Structure formats: C-alpha cells, structure tokens
Structure 1
Amino acid sequence: MLNPNVVAANILKNPTVHHGLALLARVFLAYIFIVAGWGKIAGYDATVAYMQAMDVPGGLLPLTILVELGGGLAILFGFQTRIMALALAGFSIVTALLFHSGAEDAINLMKNVAMAGGFVALALLGAGRFSIDHVIEK
C-alpha cells in the first residue's frame, strides 16, 4: 500500500517542483505585505489616525511601511529571505497582539498567526533556486 505522505515527499524532492513551490510560497506570503504597505502610503493620514486610536504612535508608520513594503518585496524576490522571513514572522505576531487581540477581530489574529507560521517555514526552507539569494550564494 502506498503511503500518500511518501508519495508527496517524492514529488516534492523533484528540484523543479521544489523550487517552483518555494517561489509560489514567497509570492503568496509577500502579496499581503506589498499591498498593505502600498495601501498605507496611499492612506497615510488615515493609517496614522488608526494607529493612534490603537495607542500606537503614528510616528511608527514609516517603519511599518518599510517593513511591509520593503520586506514583502524582499520576500518576493528572494533577497535575504531567511532573515526577512523571521522578521516578518515577528512583525505578524506583534501586529496581531497590538491590533487584533479583541474577540471581534479573532479572524485577523488567526490570519497573522498563520502568516507567522508560513514565514517560519520559509525561513527553514530558504528562497529556493528562483531567487536573488540563490544567485548571491553561488
């Protein structure tokens, strides 16, 4: 009898599949951060007001944009992927606790925790062949 886990592992060991899925994982994880970072630029004043309403200094917004947009782009292109993935995992947990800890926002809390898990997995996996990291490490 075939063990489906072994079958999947054998498929994922194929280098093209492995590195293609690593790229896909980076795209999926980066997407929300790039969109959110860009949205904060477009709605700068409203975002400052929201942060201040949550007792977070609005002066942290430029750093937030840098982390979200810059970190998202770094993940997308596979640049310094392991360290950026760990940084975005931490950022996801911190923002979950600061902005999504209420019972009415449980889904966003869970989303942030799930993203943190994905980033930890990416830190373990690395960027894969289709990345700036791969070119630099050669």
Structure 2
Amino acid sequence: MSNVSIASEKSGLVANSSAVILAGRVLLSIIFVLAGYAKLTAIAGTAGWFGSLGLPLPTVTTVVVGVVEVVAGLAILVGYQTRIAAIVLALFTLAASAVAHTDLADQVQMMFLQKNLAIAGGLFVLAAAGAGALAVDARRS
C-alpha cells in the first residue's frame, strides 16, 4: 500500500470518525436535555421525589439539576466546551447513581445503575476524544 493510499484511507477515517462522534454526542445529549426539561416542567413532582430521597432543599436541587442537565446536554449536542460538559455530566451521572440507584437487590435499580455507568463511561470517552470536527469547538480553534 502506497503512502498516498494510506493518507487517503486515513483522511476517510477522520471524516467518518467525526460523523460517528457527532452521532454519539447527539445520542448522549438526548437523555440529559429531555430529563432536564422534564424536571424543569414538573418541579413540584421532582422536588417531592428528591425530598423522599433525603436531598436538601429539594426544590432548589430540582432547578439546579434540571438546568445542569439541559445546559450541559445542549453543550454536548452542539459540541461547545464539550470536554468540560462531558466531565460535568459524567460526574453528575455517577453522583445521581450513588443517590438514587443503590438498592442492588432491586433488578430495576441495578439496570438503572448499569445504564448510568455506561453513560458515564461514554461521557468520559467523549471528554478524552473531544467533540470531533463537526462541532462548535472545532470552529473555535
């Protein structure tokens, strides 16, 4: 294989990886944007649940959590400050798991825990890899 064909193949991989990273960002962002929106449009219900978990200031916590999910989720979606947003959401997801999904005898809670661990893992990979070429971050460099 010549250097020209290797370079051509490599540039194809780069173009494809940018599209794959974009798809990953879209898929990762959906859960946070929708969950944050749901919290912010049903503050009383979410605050009641947060209160039952023993979280302090459940209404304030609901608003803060909802805003973090929406803002960081949108940042990942468009690829703005992606590494920071991904780390914030990964740590947030691990913290939410520690608060709300600790009953390992409950199969549903175990499934939620595993889902959250997988999401956090994907967010840490995104933080390491960056937003890719199809992102606001790439346009700012």
Common fold by TM > 0.5: yes
Q: Residue type matched to 2:18 in 1? A: H
Q: Residue type matched to 2:39 in 1? A: K
Moved over 2 A (4+): 10-13
Q: How many residues align?
A: 128
For residues 47 and 11 of structure 1, do their structure 2 counterparts lie closer, same or farther at Cα, with a shift above 3 Å needed?
farther
Task: Work out the CA distance in 2 between the residues paired with 1:56 and 1:84.
Answer: 23
Please state if 1:66 is matched with 2:67: yes
For residues 39 and 11 of structure 1, do their structure 2 counterparts lie closer, same or farther at Cα, with a shift above 3 Å needed?
farther
For residues 38-67 of structure 1, the C-alpha deviation after alignment (integer angstroms, 9 at most, x for no partner) is: 111121100000000000121211210111
Partner of 1:90: 91
Please state if 1:128 is matched with 2:126: no
Partner of 1:4: none
Note the C-alpha offset of 1:11: 7.7
Larger-gyration structure (1/2): 2
Please state if 1:42 is matched with 2:41: yes
Retained in 1: the 8 A contact 2:29–2:76?
yes
Retained in 1: the 8 A contact 2:40–2:62?
no
Alpha-carbon RMSD across the aligned residues, in angstroms, is 1.5
For residues 45 and 125 of structure 1, do their structure 2 counterparts lie closer, same or farther at Cα, with a shift above 3 Å needed?
same
Note the C-alpha offset of 1:28: 0.8
TM-score, length of structure 1 as denominator length: 0.88
Partner of 1:54: 53
Please state if 1:31 is matched with 2:51: no
TM-score, length of structure 2 as denominator length: 0.86
Partner of 2:121: 117
Stretches of structure 2 that go unaligned for 5 or more consecutive residues are 1-8
The percent identity for this pair of structures is 32
